[in-house]
Structure 1
Amino acid sequence: MEIRILTVGKIKEKYLNDGIAEYAKRLSRYCKLNFIQVPDEKTPDKASDALNRQIKETEGNRLLSHIREQDYVIALAIDGKMLDSVELSDLIARLGVQGKSSIVFVIGGSLGLSDAVLKRADYKLSFSRMTFPHQLMQMILLEQIYRGYRIMNHEPYHK
């Protein structure tokens, strides 16, 4: 299975890059993992709602340009469905059994995902009603995907 992590913006913090690299290394025995980062737009302080919409649309179009028709798209969205680790593991396993060979997890920028990206999503996933920095969310997502594969393969993992 190919898993792609599609995100807005680059991660600048070394500790996050180190954590992401560690989980990418761990996941390499379970799946083919790819990262795609699209540029983020500068968001001025106190931007108007119209400008914020325009920024989300621009970033959204960049994200959509990397999504193929055959991809199963899981958008990380605050209003998505909350799953526990076993349920996420079951979802990934079920998609594989259904013949989905490519899952794309999409993480938006500081303003979130555009309506067009959310419409394209096959599934909306929420980790919490709280907002997390999108850079940190990438590492949290990778840890949960890794945990999911450990669960799928009946391998021990700390609780």
Structure 2
Amino acid sequence: MKLQLWTIGKTNDAYLKEGCAQYTKRLPHYLPFEYLEIPEPKNTKLSSDVLKKEEEKLIFDRLQDSDQLILLDEKGNEFTSTEFGQYIQKKMNSVAGNLIFLIGGPYGFSDAVYKRANGKIALSKMTFSHQMVRLFALEQLYRACTIIKGEKYHH
């Protein structure tokens, strides 16, 4: 099993790039990990529904049938960091394919992506930009790995 974090689009903010790079470098110490920035559709003048359909194609082109797809979504289940570590551990023990966490574009996900998803999680009841969420998600994935290993990072 490989743990993956996919995002729609990339960030141009240096501080976010630097933070993401730090956690992307740390995570493979614990398990196979990949961070994938899926390029945004080229035509940004599309309506939100058409844009979500275009993003759907980009996601489904990369997704395998055996992959577990977990959406980062404001209506998803919320966890404490310890609970999230337990969630990751259970998935690691039961998933045959890859465990993919997906951060959508600014308008969220298409209905087909919601239908294909194996679960949804929320990082908070607050709304964050899809740019910042990638850093928060990477940090929480890293924290979950340190919790699973019983390391000091999480108090």
Same fold (TM over 0.5): yes
Q: Measure how far apart 1:25 and its partner are.
A: 1.5
Partner of 2:23: 23
Instruction: Please identify, of 32-41 and 126-135, the stretch whose mean Cα deviation from structure 2 is larger.
Output: 32-41
Q: Measure how far apart 1:36 and its partner are.
A: 2.1
| Change over 3 Å in CA distance of 1:52–1:101 after alignment to 2 | closer
State the SS of the aligned residue for 1:64.
helix
Q: Measure how far apart 1:81 and its partner are.
A: 0.6
- Please identify runs of 4+ aligned residues in structure 1 that moved more than 6 A: none
State the SS of the aligned residue for 1:65.
helix
Q: Deviations over 1:81-102 (max 9, x none)?
A: 1111111111111112224351
Residue ranges of structure 1 left out of the alignment (5+ in a row): none
Partner of 2:10: 10
Aligned with 1:87 (options 83, 86, 92) = 83
Partner of 2:120: 124
Q: 1:59 aligned to 2:55?
A: yes
Residues 74 and 105 of structure 1 are in contact (CA less than 8 Å); yes or no, is this contact kept in structure 2? Answer: yes
Aligned partner letter, 2:79: L
Aligned with 1:140 (options 132, 136, 142) = 136
Partner of 1:156: 152
Q: Deviations over 1:2-46 (max 9, x none)?
A: 1111111111111111101111111121012212222224555xx
Instruction: Please identify, of 74-83 and 93-102, the stretch whose mean Cα deviation from structure 2 is larger.
Output: 93-102
Residue ranges of structure 2 left out of the alignment (5+ in a row): none
Between the aligned partners of 1:100 and 1:85, the Cα distance in structure 2 is 24
Q: 1:37 aligned to 2:33?
A: no
State the SS of the aligned residue for 2:128.
coil
Aligned partner letter, 1:17: K
Q: Measure how far apart 1:129 and its partner are.
A: 2.6
Between the aligned partners of 2:107 and 2:129, the Cα distance in structure 1 is 10
TM norm structure 2: 0.91
Between the aligned partners of 2:60 and 2:29, the Cα distance in structure 1 is 28
Aligned partner letter, 1:76: L
Residues 43 and 52 of structure 1 are in contact (CA less than 8 Å); yes or no, is this contact kept in structure 2? Answer: no
Between the aligned partners of 1:153 and 1:101, the Cα distance in structure 2 is 22
- The count of corresponding residues between Structure 1 and Structure 2 is 154
Q: Deviations over 1:45-67 (max 9, x none)?
A: xx8xxx21111111122112111
Between the aligned partners of 1:27 and 1:105, the Cα distance in structure 2 is 14
- Seq. identity, %: 34
Residues 24 and 35 of structure 2 are in contact (CA less than 8 Å); yes or no, is this contact kept in structure 1? Answer: no
